[in-house]
Amino acid sequence: MAPDWSFRKNMTPTPYNPFHTAQAQVDAATERLGLERSMRELLRWPMFETQFRLPVRMDNGTMEVFQGYRVRYNAARGPTKGGLRWHPDETLDTVRALACWMTWKCAVLDLPLGGGKGGVTCTPAALSEGEKERLARAYIRAVGHQLSVDRDVPAPDVNTTPQIMAWMMDEFETLVGRHHAGVITGKPLPLGGSRGRSNATSVGGLYVARAVENLLGHKLTGARCAIQGFGNVGGGLAELLHEAGAKVIAVSAVDGAIYNENGLDIPAALKHYARNRQEIGGFEGGDAISNEQLLTCDCDWLFPAALENVIHEQNAADIKAPVVIEMANGPTSTAADRILHERGILVVPDILANAGGVTVSYFEQVQNTYNYYWSLEQVHAELARRMHDAFDAVHAEHQRVPGPMRLAAYMLSVERVAEACRLRGWV
Ligand code: NAD
């Protein structure tokens, strides 16, 4: 009997669908690896997904009903792991794409984890702290029965914070009636968080940039860097690059970008951003430019660290940086990827470049399980080792397989997941 793949129809008909990009990336790798048809189908779809409604009492006494999602993409290599994004544009397909990318990210870092992701369609800036807490607790009441350290472990992502993770952990522990800190990562330190988690993605990005410098000869010290996004990842990276002696010439947030060819005063820009409700506009240490101008400015390194699909068919030909380090998930469209590769621009793919966050989340789970906590030096040493090992493995594959570095990273990770599926007898 022909398999029923009618669930494919449940996809968002938006002009840009990140899950289509994610599937195209998987297809390129499975095809190049020559995987069997059933394996290709298995790997290009989530294995488990849930959608649910979340009724939440608002401060004015009315009820609002939010849409929530949790996707466990592939659990062959271990419990699924992945952040929770709260965003007005969240759809089942954005969550599927992010869960898909998490699968390959965990595999490329050789973590014993599968990939997952969750989200809520909402406008966090319009919610009070009390409303956020009730939404966080409602989310856990809806999916808590599916979560555990050996099944599925959420973490923070865009617009979710350590405080939101703390409310979620508390709700979960209240429901099950015991401590279970490892059920969620990205928690505040007093509740079992890991040292080094808050800027782990940025630290991992710096290790990757250093590896590119050492192995591929692109100088970082004194180099001109442009960073799109000035939040947890982009802001943290700007600070690290500035401290490392790079010249951060442009940074941006959702409201626009700031440019200074002599290098921005990053500590001052971070203070301005924090004081001005996460906006960069009005910062006096540079000239105002648009996010589009930031992406195409004359620089040596470009770090997209905001959202998906910012480098696309229309602007890929104008990117001037010879190196792009993808700190955001899915910042480059499939067409743009091809253009950048043809132009000889090195793109270090998201599944490698931004994997520092999930790696330290994994360390947090390990520490919670042992109930024994590491020093910051231990976390950084272990993170550096994991990131360098992963970079070296991807670099070796890239030397072997002609094409973009993304293809090499996907071939390595897809093969690891495929091997686990095969050993389990899933295909
Ligand atoms: P964040 O919410 O802290 O920051 C996002 C930043 O991007 C903000 O400065 C915001 O103003 C800016 N931004 C939003 N929309 C924009 C737009 N349309 N144009 C330009 N800038 C825009 O989020 P974050 O945690 O820093 O995550 C950023 C990216 O990194 C996301 O793709 C996320 O999935 C990815 N990521 C995050 C982590 C993590 O540990 N936080 C780990 C891996 C990957």
What domains does the chain contain, in order, with CATH numbers?
30-188 (3.40.50.10860), 200-348 (3.40.50.720)
C-alpha 4 to ligand 1 mean position (Å): 37
HSE-up of residue 112 (Cα within 13 Å, Cβ side): 6
pLDDT at position 16? 85
Name the E strands within 26-178: 48-57, 63-74, 80-87, 114-121, 152-156
**Alpha-carbon distance 217 to 204, whole Å?**
19
Catalytically active residues are 117
Q: Whose CA is nearest to atom 36 of ligand 1?
A: 328
Q: Whose CA is nearest to atom 18 of ligand 1?
A: 254
HSE-up of residue 5 (Cα within 13 Å, Cβ side): 9
CA distances from 182 to 68, 120, 196, 367, 370 (A): 22, 22, 16, 8, 10
The one-character DSSP state at 261 is T
Sign of CA pseudo-dihedral 187, 18, 106, 216: negative
C-alpha 411 to ligand 1 mean position (Å): 26
Q: Which of 101, 157, 312 to mutate to test the pocket of ligand 1 (most atoms within 8 A of CB)?
A: 157
Q: Whose CA is nearest to atom 14 of ligand 1?
A: 254
Residue 15 burial (CB count, 10 A): 5
pLDDT at position 215? 86
Regions of the chain short of the pLDDT cut 50 = 1-14
Q: Which long-range contacts (CB under 8 A, 24 or more apart) does 380-383 make?
A: 380/196, 380/203, 383/196, 383/200, 383/203, 383/204, 383/207, 383/356, 383/359
Q: Are 246 and 221 in contact (CB under 8 A)?
A: yes
Three-state DSSP at 253 gives strand
Three-state DSSP at 213 gives helix
C-alpha 234 to ligand 1 mean position (Å): 7
Three-state DSSP at 362 gives helix
C-alpha 205 to ligand 1 mean position (Å): 14
Helix (H) or strand (E) holding 195: none
pLDDT at position 217? 87
351 — phi, psi (to 5°)? -65, -15
Neighbour-count burial for 251-288, b at 16+ CB within 10 Å, e otherwise: bbbeebbbbbeebbbbeebbebbeeeeeebeebeebee
Q: Are 83 and 99 in contact (CB under 8 A)?
A: no
C-alpha 124 to ligand 1 mean position (Å): 14
pLDDT at position 330? 94
- In this structure, what token pair is assigned to residue 249? 């010439």
Residue with tokens 């390959």: 104
pTM for the whole structure: 0.94
Atom of ligand 1 nearest to the CA of 155: 40
Tell me which residues have their CB closer than 6 angstroms to ligand 1.
Answer: 157-159, 201, 228-234, 252-254, 278, 291, 305-307, 327-329, 354, 357
Alpha helices in 37-161 (DSSP H): 37-43, 92-108, 129-143
pLDDT at position 4? 37
Residue 404: burial class (beta carbons within 10 Å; 0-12, 13-18, 19+): buried
Q: Which of 232, 348, 363 to mutate to test the pocket of ligand 1 (most atoms within 8 A of CB)?
A: 232
pLDDT at position 11? 42
Atom of ligand 1 nearest to the CA of 357: 40
The one-character DSSP state at 300 is S
Residue 88: burial class (beta carbons within 10 Å; 0-12, 13-18, 19+): exposed
Q: Which of 89, 164, 201, 240 to mutate to test the pocket of ligand 1 (most atoms within 8 A of CB)?
A: 201
